[in-house]
Amino acid sequence: MRQEEKVRVLIAEDDYLASKMIEEAVKSIGFVVVGEAMNGQEAVDMTASLRPDIVLMDINMPDMDGLEATRLIQERCPTPVVVLTAYQTRELVGLAASAGVGAYLVKPPDAAQVQRAVTMAMARFADMMELRRLNAELQEALGMVKKLSGLLPICANCKKIRDEEGNWQVLEKYIEDHSEAEFSHGICPDCGMQLYPQYFKNRKKKEGGGQ
């Protein structure tokens, strides 16, 4: 998100007066309120449709609580979430973190607290998404390795490999198809002596100073 763009906020709070106090704090620091949800299910649906930059989520709401709503949001449309609570306990912190919450606010929050919590949640969310990306790349790499594991039928004479469909492929082709490896061809010294004995003998003499 570019710096000149204002942070777009979705407020999920079932208490009208509390919602308006939070909205006032949000607007006082230059953020934009794009929607207000009255329960957890509305918060999930509005996050998916409005795509806010941050969700300020009350925990105790009817139909679906804030933690369950946060879990669904992180599954369906990952978005930074700050939870709003009347009090903060160690148990709550653990449950909120496992649901995908990035920061906490004790109600009623002031403008400075909102700004600090939003900044923290967005930073943690960015770290989480980067971790997911790296994990996906690791799983893909492990998948490539797994493709080349196990017993591979190979011809004892021409060294072709039989693939999963029963077709025989040149070794290089099979490895290129099942990994990210690429081949460049050359000649090893042993084969060079067999194929071009005079060239390699002369080369050894030059390297040895003509002896």
> pLDDT over 70 for what percent of the chain?
87
pLDDT at 149: 62
Predicted structure pTM score: 0.62
Q: pLDDT for 154-193, tens place per residue?
A: 887 888 888 778 888 888 888 777 777 777 777 777 787 7
* 62 & 120 share domain: yes
Q: What is the pLDDT of residue 1?
A: 44
Q: Helix or strand or coil: residue 55?
A: strand
Asked whether residue 142 is domain-assigned, the answer is no
Structure tokens at 19: 């919602």
- Choose the final residue of a domain: 136, 163, 197: 136
Q: Which amino acid is at 3?
A: Q
77 contacts 50 by C-beta, under 8 angstroms: no
Angle at CA of residue 13, ends 62 and 31, nearest 5°:
155
Q: What is the pLDDT of residues 15-72, one digit of tens each?
A: 999 999 999 999 999 999 999 999 999 999 999 999 999 999 999 898 899 999 999 9
In percent, how much of the chain has pLDDT > 90?
38
CA distances from 87 to 92, 168, 208 (A): 9, 67, 83
Q: Is the same domain home to 194 and 154?
A: no
Same domain, 156 and 125: no
- Statement to judge: residues 31 and 83 lie in one domain: yes
| CATH number of the domain to which 23 belongs | 3.40.50.2300
